[in-house]
Amino acid sequence: MNRVAVPQRLDPDAADPPSGPVLTLGGPTMGVHWSVQACPPPGVRVEAMRGAVQAAVNRVVLEMSDWEPDSALSRFNRAPAGSRHGLPSGLLAVLTRALHWAEESDGAFDPTLGALTDLWGFGPSGEQPTPRSGDWISQAPGGWRSLTIRDDSLLQPGGLELDLSGIAKGYGVDVACEALLALGVRHFLVEIGGELRGAGVQPDGQPWWVAIETPPGVTVDEPVLVALHGLALATSGDYRRFRMDSGRRQSHTLDPRTGAPLADPPASVSVLADTCMDADALCTVLSVMGPDKGLAWAAERDIAALYQLRGAAGLDERMTPAFAAMLTD
């Protein structure tokens, strides 16, 4: 049996179901794949949708991938101290939002951890030996307060390396949605690497139903199904990217306060938001904060979030009031 989460504010397009079939398309991006289920209006061809979405996500890679040496982000990371760099529109939008959540969370989200990500073997340099114990932050300096955006340009203070992996994938989902909307497509579900956003409904009037992911090897009696019409869903889990050190799992999510992987990460955090960029970033914020502080922080901001925590008796769920309010019988 499933529990159902339905947003209280419905997508206006949900009242006018499409008449055509659901088409499925996809392609590569960000080391994973994007996929779209859509009901295009007459005259919009599959190849037009595929080309528009692929072009949109390609721009994200060209602007903010730390794996592509010629991306705008990679060029900034290599730049000398004191240099100033004009920001393409997408990178400017993502950095602006990243700094918003950094300030709002008092640094639980930090887009300047690129050197630390590499130090721990999660970056483009690939697997690394376990860093020596000590002050990891001093070994790979960062700090979101060092970022200065002025006149749509960014100052490189020296040695600062950006890492937008905690927000760029969600933004990629959003720009894919914008590409479809620009073609006149109003009913669709977009997914990139487990991050999703839906609009409108299916031909039978049903919303785009997606199940909240549970950690591998865990059985949940009542999985949560979410109606994604006019809503985005992101999930971050310690099982997605990790390294093993002396038999212990180390999460790819780093704690900006210590410079090390989270000591006791939740099994997963799922967030529902209007944009996938925000949902993506908030998963990192709440993972770093942990369930006690994170739930209180999210509740103050009316954020719909669900923690899944490993316990002696199995998986323990904790959720914010905004998430609980979406659940229906």
Q: Has residue 107 been placed in a domain?
A: yes
Mean pLDDT (the chain, rounded): 88
Write the pLDDT tens digit of every residue in 56-106. Answer: 999 999 999 998 999 999 999 999 999 999 999 999 999 999 999 999 999
Q: ∠7-110-160 over CA atoms, to 5°?
A: 145
Q: Has residue 138 been placed in a domain?
A: yes
Q: Has residue 178 been placed in a domain?
A: no
Q: Has residue 139 been placed in a domain?
A: yes
Number of domains the chain is built from: 1
Write the pLDDT tens digit of every residue in 232-250. Answer: 999 998 665 545 454 455 5
- pLDDT at residue 217 in the model: 66
Report pTM.
0.91
Write the pLDDT tens digit of every residue in 266-275. Answer: 999 999 999 9
CA 315, chain centre distance (Å) = 23
Write the pLDDT tens digit of every residue in 173-230. Answer: 999 999 999 999 999 999 999 999 999 999 999 999 999 988 776 666 788 999 998 9
Average pLDDT over residues 8-13: 68
Say what the alpha-carbon torsion angle 132, 133, 139, 145 is, to the nearest 10 degrees: 150
Q: Has residue 95 been placed in a domain?
A: yes
Q: Has residue 206 been placed in a domain?
A: no
User: Domain span at residue 129?
Assistant: 79-155
- pLDDT at residue 100 in the model: 97
Amino acid type, 148: T
The per-residue DSSP string of 114-136 comes to HHHHHHTT-STT---PPPPSS-H
Q: Has residue 202 been placed in a domain?
A: no
Q: Has residue 143 been placed in a domain?
A: yes
Specify the CATH number for the domain of residue 130: 1.10.3980.10
Residue 169 reports pLDDT greater than 80: yes
Maximum separation of any 2 CA atoms in the chain, in Å: 62
